[in-house]
Structure formats: C-alpha cells, structure tokens
Amino acid sequence: MENCIDEKIIQARVVDIKWERVIVHLYVEMEYSNAADEQISLSFYAVNGLNKAKAVFCADRQGKMIHLSMNITNPGDCQCLKMGTYSIVVCDKERILAKCIVDTAFFPLLDDCSRSFLHNGRTKSFFVNFCIAENGEELPLLMYVMDAGKIPVKILSNRELLKNLFVEPVRELTKNFDRIYWKFLYHHYVKKYRKEKNVVLFMTEQSKVIGGNLQAVYNRMIERGLDHKYSILLSARPASYEEQTRKSTKDLLKKVAKSRLIFIDDHVPVFDWLQLCGRTSLVQLWHAGAGFKSSGYSRWGHPGCPAPISCHRQYKYGIAGSKYIGRFFAEVFGINEEQILPTGMPRMDRYLDKEYQREKIEEIYIQYPICKGKKVILFAPTYRGRGRANAYYPYEMIDFERLYEFCGDNYVVLFKMHPWVKQTVPIEEGRKDRFVDVSAYSDINDLFYITDLLITDYSSNIFEFSLMHKPMLFYAFDKNQYAYSRGFHRDYEVSAPGKICYTFGQLIDAMEREDFEYEKVQDYIDKHFDYIDSNASDRVIDWILLGKLPKNIKKGIHQKEAQFRKMHKLDFSSLKE
C-alpha cells in the first residue's frame, strides 16, 4: 500500500478510550484537508512492529467522529489479539493515510485506559496497554499487547535456577503425561476410523444423561428416520465435576475420533487441550437462552474464566434464539457473530406444544394439589458462589413471614432453586399450606404453565417464561456484588423484562400494587425470538447436519472469512520508510 501519511490528507485524533468487558472502544476525531473527500470509506487496522495487520476495527462514522471497537479476545479470527506493539493505521482502499494520534486534552487520561485480564487460574495475565510512541512530533498512539505468566519477584539463587531449569520441566511433563497419552491415543483412533462417515455424536460432560437441546435434536433425528442414514453415538459423563475412569475416557476418545459432527450443550473440559482433527465439526447447543450473567470470554479476567485457547475456540457454530442476541453468544464463546445461528432453542419445541402443555398441567396439579385454584408465584433465582462445589442461595434475604402474609388465601409460592444449590428452602411447618419447595422437580419449564408471576434475579429462565406472556419481577438485592464477581454482558436495568426490586420490601410492594412493568415483556420477546414455533430442532438438523444454511447466513460467514484473508494480504511495508 502507498504511504501517504506525510501528505497529511487526514488526521485522526483519539479523544477517548473506554472498555466494555473485553471490547475496547476508541473515539476518533477526524480532520480532513481541503484535498480530502470527507465521505471517503476508511478502514482502521492494528498494525504491529513488523508492519503486519493483525486486526481490523469495527468503525461507526458519526459525522467527523468515528467510533472504533474491537473484541480483544476475538478481533475476527476467533483468537485473542496477538502479542505485539500496534499502531492504529487509517487507510482507504490503496493508501495509508494516517496513524492515530492522541489528542493533547486526552493525553493525561491515557494511563487509566490500560487493562489487565487474569486467566489460567489467575497465574497469567493478558495486558492491553495504551502508550505514546517515542520520538514523535505529535503523540502517536501505540497499543501494547502481551500475555504473561508469573515472574520472580526476587533474585534467584543458583539452586532455584537449577530447579527451574531441570525440576520444573520434569514436574510439568509428569503432570501432563496423561494428556500426552490421550492425545496420542486419539490420533491413533482418528487413523483407525478414518473411513467412518456420517457419524454424529451427542455429548455432554455435565451430566450422566443427555437432556435439553441435545435430547430434542436427537429425538427429532429419530422421528425423521435419519438414524438410518447416520450412525448416532451418545456420550454422557459428569466429567466437569467428577473424576472419570481411564476406560470411560478411552471410550469417549474412540467415539470422538469416529465422529464427523459433535453436538455439545455446555463446556467440555477435554476439548480445552485436545484439538479435534480437521474432519470433525464441533457445534455448541448451549442450554442457556439469554440471561444477564457473563460467561466464557465475556467474563474474562474474573475467576473461572477460560484460557486464551479453550474448548470454545473449536466451535464451528453455536445457536441462539435470534440474530439480535447472537452477538452476546459470540462474545461468550470467543467466535464470530456470523457463526451463531438463530435457529431457536430445540428444547422449546416440546415446550410450545399445546398437547404437551395440557398433559403437564394435569400432572403438576396431581403432584402439587396445593396449586389448584390458586394464583402461583414461582420463586426461581440463580445460585451464588463460584460454582457447583460451593453454590448457595442466601435465604436470609427472603422475609418468609411477610411473603406468607401477602399470599393470604389467594396465592401459593413455589420455590425452585438452582440445581447446584443443595441446601433446602427453610420452610416452617406452619407455612407449608402456602409455600412448597419444588427444587427436586426435573424441568422448570413445565412449572411455567401454571405460574402467574415469576420472581427471579439474573437467571436465564426468563427466556422461556417470556413466551407465557406473564409478568416477572427481579429481586436483585446484590446487583453490585454480582456484577463485580460474575459481570453482566449487557445493561441489567435496560434489559430486564420486568420491574427490578433491590429490597424485599420493594418486592412485596410491587406485588401488592401489581407494578410489574409488564410492557417490557413484549419488547423482550421481539428481540430474543426470530421464530416462535416448534421447529428449532428441524432448523438445527437442516442447517447444520444437512448443510442447508440460509443464503444470507452463509454469505455473512464467507464475507467475514474473506475480510481476514484480504487483511492478511495487505502490504504495510511502506511504513518502514
């Protein structure tokens, strides 16, 4: 590309830098010379010290201000931004027009714009540091990116140096020997079963049984007779929280090696370190519809976040309820928005079936006769804590006495706690005529049919419940703490489809006045559902298994791939001059 910086056709001054989770936003004020076309199409590249473009910013023009944004965990190639020192270079089609500089008024604030994201059990940190290039006449902006591990904080003795040189590598080799063995075995099976075709694996490492979206797609394949064309394998292990036998792992690797397509429904730890062979496609049918709490790469830097290279990076596709919310799923998985297919949630095919609804309502009234003839409040919050091992809910935040008084003769309250919360709801004997702990009930979606009001907090159960067109209340007594520990991948106050209450008194008051802000429900539905039918499983099968992607989706994926291929071919060697 031709270097035209000295001609000063344009100037690009960075006047602000902000962060939104793992997305960095730069606000660039443009100045155009008399010879410049102010409507010219501009591209903004992150160009490293070797004069290679490694990322392109998303640019939104707003008059003479241009808003740039980039997800540093995935600038478009489904990998973290590569380590290096980057200039932000402004180009048109064939010319290099400028390097971004820092506005003098913003310069004193630049140090506050750097970020550090801890990962790998907080033993490593991904740094994004903004600074100024030396020897510049103005204030050329540099973006310094580094992924670093722990470093010594003292001068090491000879003994410590020898230990690091010889003992630690042996210790690491011993610790990773199993993985080395399993990788070898997997590739042995890949060669052994290379002639296997049309093998589909439904796999979970979160449970002893297949369920949810996996079960729905599997059932639909059987109903359509596709089990005659495809060999269908199943693998269900609680490997994410229970140690597995060597035989179990060996059997799993054999199934994985045979498969051309693998459907999963959550994180699979084995794929964090086992790279699948090129002929196998991995598809994430994530169980969550659309809540608020951050997961995956959207909570990078928080405890429990994934490493830069993880299972998520291997997904060919993920699914979502709509194109609008696909961007949130893309951020979670660290893949491109175009790879999130708006098929809808397969498990909701049965949920929306009228005959199934009728049957379940009858069953629930038989199991919980206290609900018949009453208005039902379902109290269904998510858990607190770091994970399955220490999950809990602070029951002291519920004023059971006041809630019992509110119920009177008209209401009953069903308490459905998150499956990870082991402590039962402390319901006194004298209140069991209005309160019932239904945490053991298998499918919360079935309970939605008889529910008149849902009380939740940050749970994704609002996704399914919204289609009942009934009111919700959000009891968010710990919103600030929760935002700090887990994070939100979107504005909670704006996105919640109902009234938010921060104290139990506010919650009771809202119920007494029937102040639910119910109008938010329809807006939520409009944004989160491209389809409201019982055909999500068919779309997963048709689009992914049978390869019949809609043309617009296929075009978007190809355009994203072409954009990065084109970027890598750009020649910035003229910047050396």
Give the pLDDT confidence of 381-396 residue by residue, as tens digits: 999 887 888 899 999 9
Q: Are residues 430 and 449 in the same domain?
A: yes
Asked if residue 413 lies in contact with residue 436, where contact means CB atoms within 8 angstroms, the answer is yes
| 465 occurs within a structural domain | yes
Q: Are residues 393 and 501 in the same domain?
A: yes
**What is d(CA 126, CA 24) in angstroms, rounded to the nearest whole number?**
14
Q: Please check the confidence at residue 369 and state whether its pLDDT lies above 90.
A: yes
Q: What is the reported pLDDT for 153? A: 57
Q: What does the pLDDT average to over 531-549?
A: 96
Q: Which helix (H) or strand (E) holds 231?
A: strand 231-236
Among 348, 368, 392, the domain-final residue is 348
Q: Are residues 225 and 146 in the same domain?
A: no
Specify the CATH number for the domain of residue 183. Answer: 3.40.50.11820
Among 151, 166, 189, the domain-final residue is 151
Q: What is the reported pLDDT for 292? A: 67
Give the pLDDT confidence of 111-164 residue by residue, as tens digits: 999 999 999 888 899 999 999 988 667 899 999 999 987 666 567 677 766 666
Q: Are residues 211 and 238 in the same domain?
A: yes
Q: What one-character-per-residue DSSP string does 102-137 give? A: E-TTTGGGGGGG-EEEEETTTTEEEEEEEEE-TT-S
As a whole number of Å, the end-to-end CA separation of the chain is 12
Q: Are residues 135 and 186 in the same domain?
A: no
**What is d(CA 254, CA 188) in angstroms, rounded to the nearest whole number?**
9
Q: Are residues 125 and 238 in the same domain?
A: no
| 389 occurs within a structural domain | yes
State the alpha helices, DSSP H only, in 283-426.
323-333, 348-351, 354-367, 400-407
Strand runs labelled E in 269-379: 281-284, 315-319, 340-341, 375-379
| 200 occurs within a structural domain | yes
pTM of the model: 0.90
How many distinct structural domains can be found in the chain?
Answer: 3
Among 318, 348, 378, the domain-final residue is 348
Specify the CATH number for the domain of residue 395. Answer: 3.40.50.12580
- Provide the token pair at 341: 């297919």
Q: Are residues 376 and 292 in the same domain?
A: no
> If you search the block for the tokens 């067109």, which residue do you land on?
469
Give the pLDDT confidence of 515-529 residue by residue, as tens digits: 999 999 999 999 999
The 10 Å Cβ neighbour count of residue 408 is 8
Q: Are residues 99 and 196 in the same domain?
A: no
The 10 Å Cβ neighbour count of residue 359 is 13
Give the pLDDT confidence of 298-348 residue by residue, as tens digits: 888 888 889 999 999 999 999 999 999 998 999 999 999 999 999 999 999
| 159 occurs within a structural domain | no
| 557 occurs within a structural domain | no
SS3 content of the chain, % helix, strand, coil (to 5): 35, 25, 40
The 10 Å Cβ neighbour count of residue 228 is 8
Q: Are residues 230 and 344 in the same domain?
A: yes
Give the pLDDT confidence of 265-302 residue by residue, as tens digits: 999 999 999 999 999 999 999 987 666 677 899 888 88
- Pairing type for strands 411-415 and 375-379 reads parallel
> If you search the block for the tokens 């290679």, which residue do you land on?
52
State the alpha helices, DSSP H only, in 529-550.
536-540
Q: Are residues 189 and 226 in the same domain?
A: yes
Give the residue from 498, 492, 495, 462 showing the smallest Cα distance to 479.
Answer: 492
Q: Are residues 340 and 454 in the same domain?
A: no
| 560 occurs within a structural domain | no
| 280 occurs within a structural domain | yes
Domain span at 494: 354-528
**What is d(CA 552, CA 560) in angstroms, rounded to the nearest whole number?**
12
| 561 occurs within a structural domain | no
Q: What is the reported pLDDT for 485? A: 65
Q: Are residues 376 and 521 in the same domain?
A: yes
% of the chain at pLDDT higher than 90: 78
